[in-house]
Amino acid sequence: MNSLLRFALPTTSIVLLVAAAFVVLPEAEAAMDAPDPLTATAPELYTGGLYVEPDTAAEQAVARFEEQGRSSQADLLRKISSQPTAIWLGDWYETDLLVRVITRNLDAAAAEGTTPVFVNYAIPNRDCGGYSRGGFEAADYLEWTRTIADTMRGSRAVVLLEPDSLAMLSADKCATEVDTRPALLRDAVEILTDAGLTVYLDGGNNYWIAEHVMADRLTAAGVSMARGFFTNVSNFYPVNAEREYGDALSALLGGKNYVTDVSRNGTGWQGTWCNPTGAGLGEAPHATDGSTKLDALLWVKHPGLSDGTCNGGPEAGEWWDEGALELARNA
């Protein structure tokens, strides 16, 4: 018997203690109601459809164009602002702001009954010195991941874990990460999945890494604990090619599920990954009916945000009117 209960208690107190033992807190109730990310169908995981974040850069551009009397261009950009896009989390947020951003969007999604999709993007030596360089040190990265997991715990959030983190390991500039990054990602997957979140790892795309190589990397990074992997993030390959690649990779991983970024693949590959001329918006993002291993077609990369200072674009991640308008015209 617990030493704290060895003394005599009034009968009413005993009744209250027994009743309290069966009280279910709202967070615990939500966790019990949430589907198992490893076994649920896509409609069960993406219940209510995808969450549309308010006040995005695209929405701000629409308002600015309207104020300037550029109504036709504002209408074009509504093709972007009206669609659900993933919410990117990175080392640009201080901890307090990170928690507020997550909480605000989780609360809004819960009120609507929709499913929010987040992107964690702060892996050590992110982009291996490229346009999107940055990230945390390893110990800080895992602490950052714990903060995200604790804040999202009990929600129905989807997390895409570190675009390019595994596919880029083939690059010479990422040689220092080959031995350490998969294990670090595995730790991050464990933290996030322990919080009940639906997690996908970087699966590259059909034109980048051979399926058997990517399967080995995903296995080392803990894909067995995750829902699966994502493909084509920030890239331009058509759905059919990505589906063929995703299905082949899934088969090597025992039937893992996947999602594909279709934000800018409407006209297919245009010869470069960095602000290509001629690219267009892809089909509207949505979850599938769950009859295949493809869970959803998402807009992960925000159309209108620059890939970097190439082909006339501003710094990586900055809004670019010209690029956004071209994507919308070519949709």
β-strand partners of 260 = 231, 297
pLDDT of amino acid 1: 33
* Residue ranges in the chain whose pLDDT is less than 70: 1-33
pLDDT of amino acid 34: 78
pLDDT of amino acid 28: 42
Q: Tokens 């025992």 appear where?
A: 254
Q: Which two tokens stand for residue 217?
A: 């990397």
179 is catalytic: no
pLDDT of amino acid 13: 37
pTM: 0.90
Q: Between vectors from CA 150 to CA 145 and to CA 156, what angle results, nearest 5°?
A: 100
Helices 57-67 and 321-329 cross at an angle (nearest 10°) of 90
Cβ-Cβ contacts under 8 Å for 97 (sequence gap 6 or more): none
Q: Tokens 């261009």 appear where?
A: 73
Three-class SS state of 269: coil
Q: In what order do the strands lie in the sheet with 294-298?
A: 87-90, 117-121, 158-161, 198-202, 228-231, 257-261, 294-298, 286-287
β-strand partners of 286 = 297
172 is catalytic: no
**Residue 319 burial (CB count, 10 A):** 16
Contact (CB, 8 A) for 154 and 196: yes
Of 202, 261, 295, 307, which one is the catalytic site residue? 307
Of 36, 127, 172, 289, which one is the catalytic site residue? 127
Helices 138-152 and 181-194 cross at an angle (nearest 10°) of 20
Of 33, 164, 202, 247, which one is the catalytic site residue? 164
164 is catalytic: yes
Give CA torsion, residues 49, 53, 57, 61, to 10 deg. Answer: 80
Q: 270 φ, ψ to 5°?
A: -115, 20
